[in-house]
Amino acid sequence: MTFSIKGLKIVEKYDSIKFRFNNWRILNMAQLWGGRFTKETDQLVYDFNASISFDKRLFAQDIEGSIAHVVMLEKQGILTCEEKDAIVKGLTSIRSDVEEGKLNISHEYEDIHSFVEANLIDRIGDAGKKLHTGRSRNDQVALDMKLYVRNEVVAVTEELTALLESLLAVMENNLNTYMPGFTHLQKAQPTTLSHHMGAYFEMFKRDVLRMQDVYKRMNYCPLGSGAFAGTTYPLDRAYSASLLGFEGPTLNSMDSVADRDYVIEFLSALSMVMMHLSRFSEEVIIWNSNEYRFVEIDDAFSTGSSIMPQKKNPDIAELVRGKTGRVYGALVSILTTMKGIPLAYNKDMQEDKEVTFDAIDTVKDCLHLFNGMLKTMKFNTNIMETSAMRGFTNATDAADYLVNRGVPFRDAHGIIGQLVLYCIDKGKAIDELSIEELQAISPVFENDVYEAISLKTCVEKRLTIGAPGQKVMEEVIKMNKEFLNSLGQM
């Protein structure tokens, strides 16, 4: 016979005693709150409300938080030493059984907290029922999510650091690889590959600093806040906070259970990472095109076309660019979810998890794959250099040449403008004109102009901090190396 209790389908032949037994068992195992209810939960309501299909990700954090909680309860004399030991042993065995695949996190439980508590009671009996003393699922889930996000802040930082290391290697090896720099996607002035990669280094460095900042601000422990008003038990919140590696306890129990600012800050920092990766991807796609050929993406990071045999597509870069949308989506989703929630906990907040988990997975994958693509990408340095020689990237330097010989800048600008027109007409670069042709436009030009507007000079003379000149780039690389060395500890 099939019937359902509190949303659970049970297939069982039963007599009244067995029914009562089942009823008791299910109320205690699958739901933590059946006592006040006289009607069973509608199956759809049960499913709609349940979060175990996604919050099972918080399993390790739930166990970790529960262990800290009971260790503190015992220290405060709220649990006996035997009770604490039994609970810790039970929780540890649940953890290892799940890790070893002996225990499945089954979806018949409402959420991960219910799963752990029910299993504990199943294993150790009455002592297990004391685990939740002085705790609510509100501070419990706030803690679990915080522990999870805190770990992921570190994991993302590690991926960012690996990318920074790859970038620094390209920078060090390409101090004299000349290429055009662009504005409006038009060749503007010459620079080096080292300098161009250095721009991305700065972006991802700021991303690392943002992660550190998120970590520092979020690192306060909500455990012990109860449903929202603390508890009447003499909890030592500072002690549980220290057991879990927090700076200290949060200072307002209402805020503690209602706060998801750290999720939003993290998603905002992740969105920024994706914005940087997306810009970089866009450049890789352009540089990899037949028209540019500045880079060649390794076969392992490209895909083919089902119809056009000649194609080698930059799909990874395109996907990274495309996935930026879903990470921004996660940020906007939680900002919107949180904006209308009155204090303190409301079930809306359960919506923080799926999009956050998805955003974290996406960003870690993107960072990892992008780094792999960067490390295996071939830079066609000759093509870059030839491109820098065409397109009048030295026009500013030609104007500066005249300025250094007494021509006012605005006049020099006009003269070089005429020169460029002339070059376009002749299909030549400025430094391909004869001295007679140059002097016909301005008598100020002399033979030393060729040296003054060579690619090498144009780049090497740019020596203010932050510019592409080799000497100053070497200084910047040294500073960035020190930054990477300083990272180790967070």
- Least Å from the CB of residue 8 to ligand ARG: 17
Pick out residues in 150-179 that bind ligand ARG (CB under 6 A): none
Chain position whose Cβ is nearest to ligand ARG:
350
CB nearer ligand ARG, residue 313 or residue 350: 350
CB nearer ligand ARG, residue 74 or residue 139: 139
Please give the full DSSP string across 78-102, using - where no structure is assigned.
Answer: SS-HHHHHHHHHHHHHHHHHHHTTS
- Least Å from the CB of residue 381 to ligand ARG: 53
Give me the 352-391 binding string for ligand ARG, x by CB under 6 A, dash otherwise: ----------------------------------------
Stretch that binds ligand ARG, among 90-98, 136-144, 273-281, 427-435 (CB under 6 A): 136-144
Q: Which of 6, 56, 137, 237 binds ligand ARG (CB under 6 A)?
A: 137
Q: Match 């949060």 to its residue by tokens.
A: 250
- Residue 167 near residue 134 (C-beta atoms within 8 A): no
Stretch that binds ligand ARG, among 135-143, 230-238, 451-459, 461-469 (CB under 6 A): 135-143
Give me the 43-62 binding string for ligand ARG, x by CB under 6 A, dash otherwise: --------x---x-------
41 lines the binding site for ligand ARG (CB under 6 A): no
- Least Å from the CB of residue 142 to ligand ARG: 8
Which listed residue (16, 184, 306, 486) is catalytic? 184
Torsion angle of the four alpha carbons 32, 38, 42, 45, in this order, in degrees rounded to the nearest 10: -50
d(C-alpha 137, C-alpha 301), whole Å: 45
- Least Å from the CB of residue 56 to ligand ARG: 11
Q: Alpha helix locations (H) across 377-434?
A: 381-389, 395-404, 409-426
Stretch that binds ligand ARG, among 137-145, 266-274, 303-311, 482-490 (CB under 6 A): 137-145
Amino acid at 21: F
Q: Which of 64, 74, 83, 111 binds ligand ARG (CB under 6 A)?
A: 111
**What are the backbone dihedrals phi and psi of residue 378, each rounded to the nearest 5 degrees, phi first?**
-95, 125
Both tokens of residue 359? 């955003």
Residue 458 host element (H or E): helix 455-460
d(C-alpha 352, C-alpha 287), whole Å: 38
CB nearer ligand ARG, residue 236 or residue 255: 255
- Least Å from the CB of residue 138 to ligand ARG: 5
CB nearer ligand ARG, residue 74 or residue 111: 111
CB nearer ligand ARG, residue 28 or residue 396: 28
- Residue 219 near residue 153 (C-beta atoms within 8 A): no
Angle between helices 137-173 and 193-218 (to 10 degrees): 160
CB nearer ligand ARG, residue 141 or residue 476: 141
Q: Alpha helix locations (H) across 259-408?
A: 261-287, 315-339, 352-376, 381-389, 395-404
Burial environment of residue 311 by CB neighbours within 10 A (0 to 12, 13 to 18, 19 or more): exposed
The count of chain residues that interact with ligand ARG, using the rule CB under 6 A, is: 10
Give strand pairing partners of 378: 296
Q: Which of 350, 439, 454, 457 binds ligand ARG (CB under 6 A)?
A: 350
Would residue 184 show up in a list of annotated catalytic residues for this protein? Answer: yes
**What are the backbone dihedrals phi and psi of residue 447, each rounded to the nearest 5 degrees, phi first?**
-60, -25
CA angle 391, 394, 397 (to 5 degrees): 155
Per DSSP bridges, beta strands 248-249 and 220-221 are: parallel
- Least Å from the CB of residue 111 to ligand ARG: 4
Which listed residue (53, 96, 289, 305) is catalytic? 305
CB nearer ligand ARG, residue 349 or residue 473: 349
Nearest alpha carbon to residue 350 among 337, 361, 367, 359: 337
CB nearer ligand ARG, residue 134 or residue 468: 134
Q: Alpha carbon of 468 to those of 287, 304, 372, 380, 474: distances in Å?
A: 20, 36, 26, 19, 10
Both tokens of residue 206? 């700021």
CA 194 to chain centre: 25
Stretch that binds ligand ARG, among 121-129, 133-141, 231-239, 460-468 (CB under 6 A): 133-141
Both tokens of residue 162? 């690996």
Give me the 407-446 binding string for ligand ARG, x by CB under 6 A, dash otherwise: ----------------------------------------
Neighbours of 248 (CB within 10 A): 12
Give strand pairing partners of 178: 192
CB nearer ligand ARG, residue 141 or residue 389: 141
Q: Match 């209790």 to its residue by tokens.
A: 5
Q: Which of 29, 141, 277, 331 binds ligand ARG (CB under 6 A)?
A: 141
Nearest alpha carbon to residue 313 among 325, 322, 301: 301
- Least Å from the CB of residue 3 to ligand ARG: 26
Q: Which of 138, 166, 240, 393 binds ligand ARG (CB under 6 A)?
A: 138
Give me the 320-349 binding string for ligand ARG, x by CB under 6 A, dash otherwise: -------------------------x-x-x
Q: Which residues have a catalytic role annotated? A: 184, 305
List contacts with ligand ARG (CB under 6 A): 51, 55, 111, 137-138, 141, 345, 347, 349-350
